[in-house]
Amino acid sequence: MIFKGLEVSQTGLSVQKYRMDIISSNMANSNAVDDKGNPYRRKIPVFEEVLDAQNGVPLSKVAIKEVIEDQTPYKLKYDPQNPLADERGYVKLPNIDPMREMVDMISAMRTYEANLTAFNTQKDMLLKSLEIIKV
C-alpha cells in the first residue's frame, strides 16, 4: 500500500518508453517498402486505464491496450522509373510525417519526465517519513 504511488508513476514511465520506441520505429521506417511494394504503415499505441483497487485504495494505472496501424492514405510520389511504380507512375510511400513524429516524441519525453518527477517526489516523501519515525 505504501508504494502504490510509485507503482502508478512506474506504469506511466513504462508506457511512455514503449511509446517512444514505437515513434522511433515509425521514423526508422519512414521510407520502408516490403518486397511486394507495400509501404510501412505508421503504428499508434492505444493506452487504457487500469483501476487497481487493492486494500480499498482505488488508483488508476496506465497500460498499453494495443498498437494499431494508422489508416491515413499513403504518400504518393511520382517516379515512373521506379520498379514499384503503378501504371500512372506513382510509388506509394509510408504514411509517416516526420514533423508529426517529432512532436509526438517531444510529448512522450515530457510525459516521461513528468512521471519521473512524480516518482522521485513520492520516493523522497517516503524517505523523509522513514527518517521521522526512525527517531
Cell 517512444 maps to which residue? 20
Residue 66 has a pLDDT of 96
Asked if residues 83 and 35 have their Cβ atoms less than 8 Å apart, the reply is no
Sequence length of the chain is 135
Residue 34 has a pLDDT of 84
| Residue 60 cell numbers, joined | 488508476
pTM recorded for the entire structure = 0.84
Residue 77 has a pLDDT of 92
Asked if residues 50 and 11 have their Cβ atoms less than 8 Å apart, the reply is yes
Residue 125 has a pLDDT of 92
Residue 60 has a pLDDT of 81
Q: Which residues of the chain fall below pLDDT 70?
A: 1, 54-57, 135
Within 13 Å of residue 41, how many CA atoms lie on the same side as its CB? 11
Asked if residues 4 and 59 have their Cβ atoms less than 8 Å apart, the reply is yes
Q: Where are the domains of the chain?
A: 4-133
Question: 90 pairs with which residues across the strands?
Answer: 78
Residue 50 has a pLDDT of 86
